[in-house]
Amino acid sequence: MRLCLMIEGQEGVTWDDWVRLARLAEDNGLEGLFRSDHYTAIIRPDADAHDAWATLAGLAAVTERIRLGTMVSPATFRHPSVLARMAVTVDHISGGRVEVGMGSGWYEREHDAHGFAFLDGKERFELFAEQVEVVVRSWTEKRFDHDGGGYRLRGQLALPATSSRSIQDFIQTDAAINPGNSGGPLVNVRGEVIGINSAIASPTGFNAGYGFAVPINLARAVMDQLIKTGHVEHAALGVLVRDASPEDAEYAGLGAVRGVVVQDYGSGDSPAKSGGIQPGDIIVSVDGKPVEYVAQLQEAIAFRKPGDAVSVEVARKGGKRETLHVTLQRATPSLRRPPSGTRSPRVVDRTAEAPPWHRSASP
């Protein structure tokens, strides 16, 4: 059984209430916190009603584990292009924890109060069907047009991919890992330390679930830097990236869905830009080693030294390949550290972040 909490947020629920509810949900093992999407109260006519997706964006930044979403966002006043972009934004802030509920809309008084057209039932369901189509295509297609009774879109570009932040490049174990165990060794049957316990995926927060350990070769790389310099220094390409999609692979003539798409530069002085890497390029290897997904690119780059030169092979439209030489820069965070007890949205330069096995939260 999976338990979530759903709150009628339009009934005067304050921001402080939301933060308390989210903490209770996380501390007590609930899987998610969902809220209604209304601008007008139903039970208490004069109650304040905060915007649902703005609230979820705030909660995404101050929570670590619970799923977040709406039940449900109405087609009648949530334009699908806007809804799709809001959901992707919150998904990135939360690290991939968003659920999107959609519906046809039903509360006539709310529509009258805010000037939203309230269509008859048949028209609302037709609009809802279009809403679902536009939202899904906005997330999955590189570019598309839409002609319908409610919406007309021309050349809609794919939105930023939903967050691919996940636990990767860990050793998965069923050894018991409880709060307070992080940093302890994972030992094989020969008594050899093969990893450092770092995280769990558990419905309770205790050892019922999967445990994850940093592989010892990666932990050793961190240790060697700390011994030698007193700090860990990462290098960066200076790009915003995501995993390649089937559409990307077809566009670049790849035989399989693999590689990392360059979406933009992290700054005006990006070394990738100076080295000739372009937005839309798919990075398929670094120094001759294949790159299948974002975490592999992070690992290939992050523990090089600033000033090191790397050979980056990219695939371009129609199957064209280029090998470019890039001099790495020192990785610097693009956002200030958040107050204690909160987490920041993902930084712009994902290859400038510590790899996922280094930045995971303690259980």
CATH of 235-330, one of 2.30.42.10, 3.40.50.10860, 3.90.1150.10, 3.40.50.970: 2.30.42.10
For CA atoms 18, 22, 27, 32, the dihedral sign is: positive
Q: Could you tell me the fold of the domain covering 164-232?
A: Thrombin, subunit H (2.40.10)
Tokens describing residue 57: 């964006």
What amino acid occupies position 193?
V
Contact (Cβ atoms closer than 8 angstroms) between residue 157 and residue 141? no
Strand pairing report for 73-74 and 143-147: unpaired
Domain definitions of the chain by residue range: 4-157, 164-232, 235-330
Q: Are 36 and 19 in contact (CB under 8 A)?
A: no
d(CA 98, CA 53): 11
Q: 4-157 has which CATH code?
A: 3.20.20.30
Q: How far apart are alpha carbons 107 and 109 in whole angstroms?
A: 6
- Which pLDDT score is estimated for 209? 59
Show pLDDT as tens, one digit a residue, over the chain (363 residues): 578 899 999 999 999 999 999 999 988 888 899 999 999 999 987 899 999 999 999 999 999 889 999 988 999 999 999 999 999 999 889 888 898 898 889 999 999 999 999 999 899 989 998 998 898 888 877 788 999 999 999 988 777 765 544 445 677 676 777 766 667 888 887 888 888 887 776 555 555 556 778 888 778 878 888 898 887 777 889 888 888 888 888 889 988 888 999 988 877 789 999 999 999 999 999 999 899 888 788 878 877 888 999 999 999 988 899 999 999 988 765 433 333 333 332 222 333 333 333 333 322
C-alpha 362/C-alpha 97 separation (Å) is 18
DSSP 276: T
φ and ψ at residue 108, rounded to 5 degrees: -65, -40
Is 306 exposed, middle or buried (CB count within 10 Å of its CB: 0-12, 13-18, 19+)? Answer: middle
